[in-house]
Amino acid sequence: MKTSYLLLFFFWINCSAFSQHNDPKIRVCDNIYLQRISVNAYVHVSQDDISGFGQVSSNGLIYVNNGEAFLFDSPASEASTRALVTWLTDSMKLKIVGFVPNHWHVDCMAGLAFLHSQGIPSYANQMTIDIARSHHLPEPRNGFTDSLNLKLGDRDIRCYYFGAAHSLDNIVVWIPYEKVLFSGCMIKAMSSGNLGNTADGDVKAYPATIRKVKARFPDAVIVIPGHGNFGGIELIEHTLQLSVR
């Protein structure tokens, strides 16, 4: 009988986790929705026109704790960023207290100027700041080199730079409490058959960078790529295999 109760308990735990990952989409507007992936984290998915690529669906992360939130990557336009932030503040009653872009591309920080206009602090790899400046783009205001520890209330947010891959400056964000890894465009969805756009990256360095990510986060439960469906650590291995072809 005790064994039966244990089996039922573990079945309930697994079902609860599965249901969290499959919550209904929360529609923000025509081109943006949220997907709740854990108690305190949401993926924001937006579709915008990106020059040279057409309509592109991009992922970002929202981490929430006690009415405050950090935003990781903005949608790929200022208008979409404004719509997302307005919805988060008006409908979810959240105060956005920080922003971190994965790298300097438009699908990560197109909304930076608007976020600054709202008084939201921004943090980024110093390389991201330097590249943005060289391209005459709005610049994140607080830089780091190898790693950065941030706090959202009593919860840790850890940002790491492991090396070049999709871009020279791409980072990952680790949420230890949730075991969520926001990897951005360096990690590819399982549906991806190649590494995608690497024009601003380093394909030779790519495998070494992914191996560092794989070694550092063996216990990641949810891995969020820059585009496509999120999943688990299998996305890291899939990207590694793509990078060594």
Residues with catalytic roles:
103, 105, 107, 166, 185, 188, 197, 227
Q: d(Cα 112, Cα 136) in Å, to the nearest integer?
A: 13
Q: Burial level of 217, CB count in 10 A (0-12/13-18/19+)? A: buried
Q: d(Cα 211, Cα 163) in Å, to the nearest integer?
A: 10
* Per-residue exposure over 2-22, b if at least 16 CB sit within 10 Å of its own CB, e if not: eeeeeeeeeeeeeeeeeeeee
Q: Where are the extended beta strands (E) located within 84-218? A: 95-100, 123-125, 142-144, 147-152, 155-160, 172-175, 180-184
Residue 76 and residue 58 in contact, taking contact as beta carbons nearer than 8 Å:
yes
* CA quadruple 189, 132, 43, 161: dihedral, nearest 10: 70
- Residue 120 tokens read as 């939201």
Query: Which residue, 181, 190, 164, is CA-closest to 215?
Result: 181
